[in-house]
Amino acid sequence: MKQLAEYKPWFIEEPTSPDDILGHARIRRALEPYGVGVATGEQCQNRVIWKQLFQVGAIDIAQIDACRVGGVNEVLCILLMAKKSVSNSNMLMRRFGVPVIPHSGGVGLPEYTQHISTIDYVLISQKLSLLEYVDHLHGRTHLLPDLMNRVFPIPLSDCQRLLYHASRTRIFHRNLRLDY
């Protein structure tokens, strides 16, 4: 990363095994002098791993994958942890304040993450977040993300519209030989 520092990358994504909490913390400390952050999370399966990442200050960007962690309830816990203050062993208040950029690299995830970012913005962090835009993953669900000046507007429909088009589910079932 020394060689890339002159280009001022905001962060390096998943520089080590996703569940290596201490490894992420060590890498983050090593990159601090260069102004390069550490982002991870798309492979994290539960709030316990997230809690540990936050506690040891291992990351600068939280990339939650809402499907991998099991849905909205788990995401809400992680969003709150990313924001909240906790007491450390010295009884001093330590603020996590880690920004959340939800992972959107799967079919249907870009549509799902609009809702997660809206929840984070309106109810938790009050900060606008970035969202990944993966063009080839759209068109499989009833909800199509609208980009206005490179910005996802706040979705006005409920998550019910994340249902997949029937033609897509038939293709999926045929490929798995589940047409019965």
CB 119 within 8 A of CB 79: yes
Nearest to 79 by CA among 56, 60, 104, 62: 62
Instruction: Give residue 90's pLDDT band: very low, low, confident or very high (50, 70, 90).
Output: very low
pLDDT of residue 35: 93
pLDDT of residue 89: 40
Q: Which helix (H) or strand (E) holds 61?
A: strand 61-62
Q: Which residue has the higher pLDDT, 6 or 87?
A: 6
The predicted-structure confidence for 13-50, as pLDDT tens digits, reads as follows 999 998 899 999 999 999 999 999 999 999 999 999 99
Q: Which residue has the higher pLDDT, 3 or 170?
A: 3
Spatial separation of the C-alpha atoms in residues 90 and 120, rounded to whole Å:
29
Tell me 107's DSSP state.
T
Lowest mean pLDDT among 76-85, 114-123, 168-177: 168-177
Spatial separation of the C-alpha atoms in residues 79 and 86, rounded to whole Å:
14
Q: What are phi and psi of 92, to 5 degrees?
A: -95, 145
Instruction: List Cβ neighbours of 168 (8 Å cut-off, separation of 6 or more).
Output: 140
Neighbours of 19 (CB within 10 A): 14
Neighbours of 175 (CB within 10 A): 9
Mean pLDDT of the chain: 77
Q: Which residue has the higher pLDDT, 147 or 118?
A: 118
Instruction: Give residue 93's pLDDT band: very low, low, confident or very high (50, 70, 90).
Output: very low
Are β-strands 85-87 and 61-62 bridged in parallel, bridged antiparallel, or unpaired?
unpaired
Lowest mean pLDDT among 55-59, 127-131, 165-169: 165-169
% of the chain beyond a pLDDT of 90: 37
Mean pLDDT of all residues in 126-130: 80
In terms of C-beta density within 10 A (0-12 exposed, 13-18 middle, 19 or more buried), how is residue 93 classed?
exposed
Q: Which residue has the higher pLDDT, 57 or 95?
A: 57
What is the torsion angle, in degrees rounded to the nearest 10, for the CA atoms of residue 150, residue 154, residue 156 and residue 161?
70
Walk me through the domains of the chain, giving residue ranges and CATH numbers: 5-175 (3.20.20.120)
The predicted-structure confidence for 51-73, as pLDDT tens digits, reads as follows 999 999 999 999 998 888 888 89
